[in-house]
């Protein structure tokens, strides 16, 4: 077996300065990047902390008790997040996903949701406002989240077997409590609740069928995600990836499936319905099938950096523009300047890592420091 090397790295690399362009770029909702892709989806990370230590995301060896998380003053405030988001929405964003780290650990997250829920898309529609959580605090918080204006939640759940689940979250958290959280979310009206299962070959692939059987016919949508080479700390290896085609084959053998149309352009999940009409599953093939061609997602990190790709190594620092930075001669930006800066960042985007990965030699890109999933969210 190949030796696994888990490097000790600081996930934060120096950001690229975001600048206000000389010629304004008004927010008209028609922005396109270098490859003609619109901006539709914004994922906002509200904390870099988490109460789980999933090995594929925040391995304990790296994210130990002495890990230097961001100090509170470095985080964007809720008002700052809402202000930036308003400009993203004016540029065409329709879908917002709050994530992290574990987003429900951020104090009073309901207040941010309230501020985002009142925003309207360029054509006057409410935003699709969702949140991805590990579910540990959901039983307690579901009702308040709904009352604040959240529409849906996605819950990450990597298995039903308690021992497997405890091993994967690596903090001995019982699966029953996440299942209670999922019920609470459904009862609070945060549906259709989606369940995300990261499949790691040899670790939890034997949980695929039990998960499919459990959620079939419940109205919840189970999605299987290929284990990805995000970040630099999880010691990723291709031989631990179970291609989605294999997942579909496995489920189909016992619970026959038919392929469904994608729900929206840029949708990451391929949809499969149960032939007996009792619901659907999804597969997200981030490794074996590149979907960069219509990727319309931007990510805002906890401290206000815009990342244009999950696999980017550097973000664009919007916080300096929002707050101003006298030491660098940066004045706080007006709303128009902020919109122009975001416009310029998106217009310069040509990222398509998953497409390029397919043509890379196995060692290519090794040593390039990439941002961690827990820092910019999934």
Both tokens of 207, joined, read 């949980």
| Among ligand SF4, ligand SAM, none, residue 354 binds (CB under 5-8 Å by kind) | ligand SF4
224 binds ligand SF4 (CB under 6 A): no
Tell me if 212 contacts ligand SAM by CB under 6 A. Answer: no
Nearer to ligand SF4, 312 or 330 (CB): 312
d(C-alpha 131, C-alpha 100), whole Å: 10
- Please identify which residue in 52, 165, 215, 227 interacts with ligand SF4, judged by CB under 6 A: 52
- Provide the mask over 5-44, with x wherever binding to ligand SF4 is found by CB under 6 A and - wherever it is not: ----------------------------------------
Token pair for 269: 């999940």
Told to check if 87 binds ligand SF4 by CB under 6 A, we report: no
Sorted by sequence, the CB contacts under 8 Å of residue 351 that are 6+ apart come out as 292, 295, 308, 309, 311, 312
ω into residue 192 within 30 of 0, thus cis? yes
Return the bridge partners of 41, or none: 95, 297
Q: Which of 48, 56, 97, 109 binds ligand SAM (CB under 6 A)?
A: 56
For position 230 contacting ligand SAM by CB under 6 A, the verdict is yes
- For helices 244-254 and 208-215, give the axis angle rounded to 10 degrees: 60
Q: Could you say which of 130, 134, 196, 301 contacts ligand SF4 (CB under 6 A)?
A: 134
Residue 38: name its binding partner from ligand SAM, ligand SF4, none (Cβ under 5 to 8 Å by kind).
none
CA–CA gap between residue 294 and residue 272 (Å, rounded)? 20
* Beta carbon nearer to ligand SAM, 122 or 290: 290
The answer to whether 207 and 159 are in contact (CB under 8 A) is yes
Residue nearest ligand SAM (C-beta atom) = 378
Stretch binding ligand SAM (CB under 6 A), from 75-83, 185-193, 228-236, 245-253: 228-236
8 A C-beta contact, residue 210 and residue 255: no
Tokens of 373: 């999933």
Q: Binding to ligand SAM by residue 227, rule CB under 6 A?
A: yes
Nearer to ligand SF4, 272 or 375 (CB): 375
Sole binder of ligand SF4 in the list 27, 39, 42, 54 (CB under 6 A): 54
- List helix spans (H) across the chain: 78-90, 109-117, 138-148, 162-169, 175-188, 208-215, 244-254, 319-323, 335-347, 353-357, 373-376
User: Which residues share a beta bridge with 99?
Assistant: 45
Residues that bind ligand SF4 (CB under 6 A): 50, 52-54, 57-58, 100-102, 134, 156, 291-292, 295, 297, 309-311, 351-354, 374
């Amino acid at each position: 077996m190949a030796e696994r090397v888990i490097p000790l790295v600081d996930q934060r690399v120096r950001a690229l300065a975001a600048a206000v362009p000389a010629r304004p770029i008004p927010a008209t909702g028609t922005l396109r990047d270098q490859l003609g892709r619109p901006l539709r989806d914004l994922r906002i990370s509200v904390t870099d902390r988490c109460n789980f230590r999933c090995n594929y995301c925040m391995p304990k060896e790296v994210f130990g008790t002495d890990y230097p998380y961001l100090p509170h003053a470095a985080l964007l405030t809720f008002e700052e997040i809402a202000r930036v988001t308003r400009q993203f929405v004016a540029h065409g964003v329709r879908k917002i996903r709050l994530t992290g780290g574990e987003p429900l650990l951020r104090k009073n997250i309901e207040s941010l949701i309230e501020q985002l829920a009142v925003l309207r898309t360029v054509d006057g529609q409410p935003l699709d406002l969702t949140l991805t959580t590990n579910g540990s605090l959901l039983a307690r918080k579901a009702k308040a989240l709904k009352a604040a204006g959240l529409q849906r939640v996605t819950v990450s759940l990597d298995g039903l077997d308690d021992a497997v689940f405890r091993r994967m979250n690596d903090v001995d958290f019982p699966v029953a409590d996440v299942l209670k959280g999922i019920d609470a979310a459904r009862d609070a009206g945060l549906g259709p609740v989606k369940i995300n299962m990261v499949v790691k070959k040899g670790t939890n692939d034997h949980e695929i069928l039990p998960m499919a059987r459990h959620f079939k016919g419940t109205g919840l949508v189970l999605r299987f995600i290929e284990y990805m080479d995000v970040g630099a700390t999880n010691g990723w290896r291709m031989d631990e990836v179970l291609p989605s085609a294999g997942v579909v084959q496995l489920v189909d053998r016992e619970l026959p499936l038919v392929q469904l149309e994608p729900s929206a352009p840029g949708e990451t999940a391929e949809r499969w319905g149960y032939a007996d009409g009792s619901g659907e599953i999804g597969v997200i093939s981030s490794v074996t099938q590149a979907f960069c061609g219509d990727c319309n997602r931007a990510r805002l990190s906890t401290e206000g950096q815009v990342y244009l790709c999950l696999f980017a190594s550097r973000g664009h620092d919007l916080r300096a523009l929002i707050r101003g930075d006298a030491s660098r001669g940066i004045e706080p930006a007006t709303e128009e300047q902020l919109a122009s800066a975001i416009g310029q960042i998106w217009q310069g985007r040509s990222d398509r890592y998953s497409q390029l990965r397919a043509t890379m030699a196995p060692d290519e890109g090794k040593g390039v420091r990439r941002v961690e999933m827990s820092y910019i969210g999934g």
